[in-house]
Amino acid sequence: MAVLVTGGAGYIGSHVVRLLNERGDDVLVVDDFSTGIAARVDGLSVVDLDLAAPDATDRLVDAIREHGVDSIIHFAAKKQVGESVEEPVMYYRQNIGALTNILAAVEATGIESLVFSSSAATYGMPDVEMVGEDLDCRPINPYGQTKLIGEWMIDNQITASQMRGTAFNAVKLRYFNVAGAGWSELADTAVMNLIPIVLGRMKDGKAPIIFGDDYDTPDGTCIRDYVHVKDLAEAHIAALDYMKSGGTTETVFNVGTGTGASVKEVIDTIAEVTGRDIVPEMGERRAGDPPALVADVSRISALLSWKAEFGLEEIVRSAVEAAGMLPEQK
C-alpha cells in the first residue's frame, strides 16, 4: 500500500516523503509545483495536479486506485498570512476547495487515514503563553481561518463516516514555527520566516530587523516555539502509525518543542553558529504578532509518543549549513 503526499515537493512535504522512503513505504506525490521543487522528488511517482482544479477529485480517485493508496498526508496549501489578507479568495480556493476535493476522493475510494497540516495560526492571539489544543481557536487572518475550517471539514467527515459505518480517521497537526533542514537539499527556499530572512539579509550584507523589542517578555522581543522540520516530519509518521494502530482518542495535536525562544535569542544563535557579529536594527512591531506562542506538547507526547529531538542550536545550524554559511563552508 502507498501513502499519497500532497505537496510532497514542498519544504515540509519533501522531508516526510524522504522519511517514508527511508522506512520503505511506497509514496505517491501530488504537487502542482507552484512552490514545490521538482528536484526534491526526483525519481519518485508524481502526479502534477492542482488539487483545486475542477477535475481534481476524479484524477485523485484514479491515482489512488492505480497506486494502491491507503492513506493521505495533505500538505499542499497556501501559507502566507499577509497574502491571505490581500487575496482571501485564493485561500478559500486553494485551502478549502482543495480539501473538499480530497475528502470527496477519500469518500469515493474508502481511504481510512488522513494527516492534515494545520497551524498554530488557528489559535490567533491567545492570552496564555503555553497553548494547549483545547484552547478556543480564534484565528485572526484568512490563512488561519482556512486551516481551522479545514479541521472542521475533516471532523464532519469523520462523523459522517461513523454514521455510515465506514472507517475514516484523521489527525490534524498544528505546527508551531517550523525551521531548519533535515537534508540541505530539502531546505526552505522561501524567505518568509525569521531564520531564512535573517540569513538572507546577512548574505546581502544587511542587518536583520527585530519587529519590536517592547513586548512584555524577558528581553522585550517575541517568543516562539521553533521546531525542527525533521522532527515535524517524524510527527507525521507517528500520526500515521497512531491511526493504523486504531488510535482515535484525540485527533488534533500541537507540534512544537514546548520551549520558547525570543527573536533576540534566535539572532544570537545565528551569530554564534555563523561565527559572525550581528547587530540587529530595531523596527516597529508587526501587526498581529502575539508576544509569546509556545506549544503545550503533553498530548502529542502522551498519545503519539512523539517528542522533538532537536533544539534551537541544531535548527539554526542545519539552516545555516543549507545556506552554505557555516564558518568552514566559506
Q: What are the residue numbers of the active site?
A: 143
Stretch of residues binding ligand UD1 (CB under 6 A), selected from 18-26, 37-45, 117-125, 318-326: 117-125
Specify burial of residue 87 (Cβ count, 10 A radius: 0-12, 13-18, 19+): middle
The grid cell for 252 is 488534533
For the CB of residue 177, give the shortest distance to ligand UD1 in the complex, in Å: 5
Q: Is 227 in the site for ligand UD1 (CB under 6 A)?
A: no
For the CB of residue 226, give the shortest distance to ligand UD1 in the complex, in Å: 8
For residues 249 and 95, what is the distance between their CA atoms, to the nearest angstrom?
26
Q: What is the dihedral of CA 115, 120, 126, 131, to 10 degrees?
A: 70
Among 190, 191, 197, 282, binds ligand UD1 (CB under 6 A): 197
For the CB of residue 204, give the shortest distance to ligand UD1 in the complex, in Å: 13
Q: Is 120 in the site for ligand UD1 (CB under 6 A)?
A: yes
22-81: contacts with ligand UD1 (CB under 6 A): 79, 81
Q: Is 224 in the site for ligand UD1 (CB under 6 A)?
A: yes
In the beta sheet, which residues pair with residue 47? 30
What secondary structure does DSSP assign to 86-140, as a single string?
H-HHHHIIIIIIHHHHHHHHHHHHT--EEEEEEEGGGT-S-SSSEE-TTSPP---
Among 63, 114, 130, 210, binds ligand UD1 (CB under 6 A): 210
The grid cell for 107 is 469518500
For the CB of residue 302, give the shortest distance to ligand UD1 in the complex, in Å: 24
For residues 292 and 28, what is the distance between their CA atoms, to the nearest angstrom?
38
Stretch of residues binding ligand UD1 (CB under 6 A), selected from 32-40, 52-60, 159-167, 207-215: 207-215
Closer residue to ligand UD1, CB minimum distance, 119 or 318: 119
Among 20, 263, 319, 325, binds ligand UD1 (CB under 6 A): 263
Q: Is 282 in the site for ligand UD1 (CB under 6 A)?
A: no
> Is residue 303 within a helix (H) or strand (E), and if so which, with residue range?
helix 298-303
For the CB of residue 192, give the shortest distance to ligand UD1 in the complex, in Å: 7
Q: Where are the alpha helices (DSSP H) in 139-289?
A: 142-164, 194-203, 229-244, 263-274
For the CB of residue 307, give the shortest distance to ligand UD1 in the complex, in Å: 20
For the CB of residue 12, give the shortest distance to ligand UD1 in the complex, in Å: 10
Among 121, 173, 297, 300, binds ligand UD1 (CB under 6 A): 121
Q: Is 85 in the site for ligand UD1 (CB under 6 A)?
A: no
For residues 312 and 16, what is the distance between their CA atoms, to the nearest angstrom?
20
For residues 246 and 236, what is the distance between their CA atoms, to the nearest angstrom?
16
Q: Is 217 in the site for ligand UD1 (CB under 6 A)?
A: no
Size, binding site for ligand UD1 by CB under 6 A? 19
Other beta carbons within 10 Å of 289: 14
CB-side neighbour CA atoms (13 Å) of 188: 24
CA-atom Rg of the chain in angstroms: 20
For residues 15 and 325, what is the distance between their CA atoms, to the nearest angstrom?
21
Q: Is 193 in the site for ligand UD1 (CB under 6 A)?
A: yes
Stretch of residues binding ligand UD1 (CB under 6 A), selected from 40-48, 189-197, 250-258, 315-323: 189-197
Closer residue to ligand UD1, CB minimum distance, 46 or 148: 148
Q: Is 261 in the site for ligand UD1 (CB under 6 A)?
A: no
Positions touching ligand UD1 (CB under 6 A) are 79, 81, 119-121, 177, 193-194, 197, 208-211, 222, 224, 263, 286, 288-289
